[in-house]
Structure 1
Amino acid sequence: MRPYATCWYNNGVKSFLVGCLYYPCSLGLTFYQQWFIKEEFHFPLFIVLCHYLLKFAVASCYRASYSRVYAKDRILLKWPHYAIAAGITGIAASLDIGLSNCSFEYTTISLYTMGKSSSIVFMLIAAVALSLESCNWSTCSVVGSISFGLFLFHFKATQFAWTGFLLVQLASVCGGIRWAASQKLMQKRSLGMSNPLDMIYHVQPWMIIGIVPLFLVFEAKGLALLSSTSFGSKASNVLRLLGLIAGGGTLAVMMEILEYALVFYTSSLTLGELVTLSLAYCYKGDQISWINALGLAICMAGSVAHFVIRTRRVVSVEKTNTTYCQLRQESTNDSSSDSDTL
């Protein structure tokens, strides 16, 4: 099998292996956060802020341990790249996750999942703006099909809520910008940001900066009042809440590490969304009409088309690189033969 011909196989294997780890984390965190925020603790921005701090602590510990064990420092972005590239990625990611968690109070799992999957549309638009994708008929077709599918999915939905829908769509816009900017940052090999934990280390401070003002405006006062009540002042209740936050934070750390690995191999609407919708329908009582199901099918078709187009592009690049290397090797061999003859 030719080297470039194995690209399809390699992409599939990598997607499968990373997906086997990513999807349980993603599904678990989605259902866990919705239960926790709706039933236990109505301060989603504070929960997210704690998760951000935990992720930054994990990434910092990894980098410190690596430097101590291997006596070699990890990559550190220079200020221009850190302020612009990492800053855009971090602020967008912060708003994406923060708004997504806020929406759990107003929407069902199924509507959240399908609404959030529209981030692929905004990701493609942002990718065109950042020159990661070309604006051609295939890109426009994917955007159009997924947009139409999303319209059908939300058409006359029995459990539709405008507040939740708007929060999810704002999160999707931020999510699209987030992943396009992440791809742009990680694709620059000269920056050395291929390791997800290095990416988290550089992006997380910006995510904290992005969420703190929102927390101070919308939740700080309420949290202070809660701490003065009999419930909030009881040590056992506080420890229980911190344990529940840490449980979600652990899933969030694992999911974000795997997200950066998965973003190169699949689109944002994949098996995870389908499984989430199925579980929400079977176990949470979410209602989906046949029109909504048709919208889901169209979205899935658009997602598959996006994956195929992306993989073909990777195969084409791999084929070009392989041909170039072969020609260069042949040229080197010919030069060596001529030298030996002389």
Structure 2
Amino acid sequence: MTENSSAEHPKDEEGIPILSEKQDYNDKHALKLQSGLQKLWHNSIFRTAVRNASLILTWYFFSTCISLWNRKLLGKGHGVLGKGPFPAPMLMSSLQFAAQIVMAKFVLYLGVAERKHPDKLSWHQYFLQVVPNGTATGLDIGLSNFSLSLITLSFYTMCKSTTPVFLLFFCFAWGLERPSASLGVVIAIICVGLILLVYGEAEFNLAGFIIVMTASALSGLRWTITQVLLQGSSAHGVGSSGGPVEVLLSLTPVMSVTVAIMSMAFERLWVVIPGSPYFDSLQSLGVTALIMLCGGTIAFFMVWTEFAVIASTSALTFMIAGTFKELVTVLAAVLFLGEHLTYVNCIGLVVLVLGVALFNYTKYRKVIMGQVVSARAPTDHEKGGARAERHEAHDGERAFLVGGRRMNLGSPRASPRAGKPPSLSADLELITQRPSAQHNGLTSGPGSTLALGKSQSSS
């Protein structure tokens, strides 16, 4: 036994170095991976991209929920609790806006959302900035909900996907975007997709189509103004009006009143309400109030995340992400509401998405070439000399498709391959090598962004 044991010890001793070397290799590999992940996480662009992607996915969830909820409540052959469709879509929108006012005040009171603009707007600022946006938003949402009572959710969603076209026109008018031949081609492709969608719609309703396209135009207007409210515009000398919840609180009273006036003018409430099962008793009134509160709650979180996306990126980024979100909504309409798509519908949808993808690529090329116009109004801190220099140094880590500062990741000034055409691989390599803003003593404000979709090439 002793001889056998002594004979086995050398073998064990020979195996120990091998195991130690393997363990050392694994430890070094794990440390290297951990160091790489920490370095990536400390990169301000990566953190901003993760934050923006999370915001966009959250917005996808709430937006799809509110679309399904409103279609279920308003659509022909639908309704909740066996009461049939709600008889007044615009009244429903007005009540949902009123619920959002209460929720916004509650969130600010609890400190869940911090006030970024404690000073109240003057009446001149209110009527110049808030009233036009609130009116356009109210008309957009009110008409959108009204159209859901006439057309299917899938057709409505595909029509609303044309909003970037109207958004571009308003951006041209505001000086936030420059017209170009490439954008003209993109707009033409999106319009062709829309024509195919209309041609292939089996249950086409002309009134519903006109209403939803009017809502799309108003949507482009309201999101352009919303970006100016959230980010400011140096081209017009307009500063930011506060955070997402503050802007929501400013807009919802105007939105509620606007849609309420439309409801009284067009929905004949004195006729439809008395005979509706939603209002035929006190118990029905209580149930209806809960239904409105439920929809208002979903809408509040949806709009909150909408504004948060725009505040961190831009209105066009929001619309680009929104167009891909429409695919999710169309799929949800087919799965949960039993709606059907024709082959022409599908072809039109593919053409529409192709147009938006080309637009995304065009904007990405402009961003990496440093051709995006800077439209963000400077803050008081940025007006100081030293502070302005630090922001200029940090300018390369900000990217806005409309407004904001330029991201020069692919420009000759920043690229390791100076003088050569920019490429995605070089940009990604530069991103991983770029030191974090915190290590340079810089801060990353709400405008610092690399929006979802922009690194790869804003309803």
Q: Same fold (TM over 0.5)?
A: yes
Quick check: 1:108 aligned with 2:161?
A: no
Quick check: 1:247 aligned with 2:294?
A: yes
Pairing of 1:33-48 with structure 2 (within 5 A): 33-38=70-75, 39=79, 40=84, 41-48=86-93
| Alpha-carbon distance change, 182 to 221 in structure 1, aligned in 2, over 3 angstroms | same
Match of 1:134?
A: 178
Which has a greater percent of helix? Answer: 1
CA-CA distance at 1:172 after TM superposition: 0.6
User: Which consecutive unaligned segments of at least 5 residues does structure 1 have?
Assistant: 328-342
The question of whether the paired residues in 2 share the 8 Å contact of 1:66 and 1:72 is answered with: no
CA-CA distance at 1:180 after TM superposition: 1.1
Match of 1:338?
A: none
| Whole-angstrom distance in 1 between the partners of 2:163 and 2:52 | 19
Provide the aligned C-alpha RMSD in A: 3.2
The question of whether the paired residues in 2 share the 8 Å contact of 1:124 and 1:133 is answered with: yes
| Alpha-carbon distance change, 10 to 65 in structure 1, aligned in 2, over 3 angstroms | closer
SS in structure 2 opposite 1:42?
coil
Pairing of 1:2-13 with structure 2 (within 5 A): 9=46, 12-13=49-50
Q: Deviations over 1:226-265 (max 9, x none)?
A: 47xx873422211111111111110000000111122423
Q: Which amino acid aligns with 1:216?
A: M
| Alpha-carbon distance change, 271 to 259 in structure 1, aligned in 2, over 3 angstroms | same
| Whole-angstrom distance in 1 between the partners of 2:366 and 2:244 | 23
The question of whether the paired residues in 2 share the 8 Å contact of 1:266 and 1:307 is answered with: no
CA-CA distance at 1:29 after TM superposition: 0.7
* TM-score (norm: length of structure 1): 0.83
| Alpha-carbon distance change, 267 to 14 in structure 1, aligned in 2, over 3 angstroms | farther
Q: Comparing both chains, which one has the higher relative contact order based on Cα–Cα distances under 8 Å and sequence gaps of 6 or more?
A: 1
| Alpha-carbon distance change, 255 to 75 in structure 1, aligned in 2, over 3 angstroms | farther
CA-CA distance at 1:184 after TM superposition: 2.1
Deviates more, 1:308-317 or 1:103-112: 308-317
Match of 1:16?
A: 53
Pairing of 1:170-185 with structure 2 (within 5 A): 170-185=214-229
| Whole-angstrom distance in 1 between the partners of 2:115 and 2:299 | 29
| Whole-angstrom distance in 2 between the partners of 1:61 and 1:311 | 39
| Alpha-carbon distance change, 198 to 323 in structure 1, aligned in 2, over 3 angstroms | closer
| Whole-angstrom distance in 2 between the partners of 1:324 and 1:50 | 46
Pairing of 1:1-342 with structure 2 (within 5 A): 9=46, 12-38=49-75, 39=79, 40=84, 41-66=86-111, 74-188=118-232, 191-219=239-267, 220-226=269-275, 232-263=279-310, 264=314, 265-268=317-320, 269-313=322-366, 316=370, 324-325=392-393
Q: Which amino acid aligns with 1:117?
A: S
SS in structure 2 opposite 1:193?
coil
CA-CA distance at 1:11 after TM superposition: 6.2
The question of whether the paired residues in 2 share the 8 Å contact of 1:63 and 1:74 is answered with: no
The question of whether the paired residues in 2 share the 8 Å contact of 1:267 and 1:303 is answered with: no
CA-CA distance at 1:65 after TM superposition: 4.2
CA-CA distance at 1:12 after TM superposition: 4.3
* TM-score (norm: length of structure 2): 0.63
The question of whether the paired residues in 2 share the 8 Å contact of 1:97 and 1:171 is answered with: yes
The question of whether the paired residues in 1 share the 8 Å contact of 2:167 and 2:224 is answered with: yes
CA-CA distance at 1:322 after TM superposition: 7.5
| Whole-angstrom distance in 2 between the partners of 1:159 and 1:192 | 44
CA-CA distance at 1:305 after TM superposition: 2.9
The question of whether the paired residues in 2 share the 8 Å contact of 1:7 and 1:314 is answered with: no
The sequence identity of aligned pairs, in percent, is 24
Q: Deviations over 1:161-218 (max 9, x none)?
A: 1121111111111111111111122221773335110111111222123212112122
Match of 1:337?
A: none
> Would you say how many aligned residue pairs link Structure 1 and Structure 2?
321
| Alpha-carbon distance change, 63 to 78 in structure 1, aligned in 2, over 3 angstroms | farther
| Whole-angstrom distance in 2 between the partners of 1:25 and 1:305 | 27
SS in structure 1 opposite 2:319?
coil
Match of 2:383?
A: none
User: Which consecutive unaligned segments of at least 5 residues does structure 2 have?
Assistant: 1-35, 375-388, 396-459
SS in structure 2 opposite 1:225?
coil
CA-CA distance at 1:52 after TM superposition: 0.9
The question of whether the paired residues in 1 share the 8 Å contact of 2:101 and 2:249 is answered with: yes
| Whole-angstrom distance in 2 between the partners of 1:158 and 1:71 | 49
SS in structure 2 opposite 1:22?
helix
CA-CA distance at 1:323 after TM superposition: 9.2
Deviates more, 1:231-240 or 1:49-58: 231-240
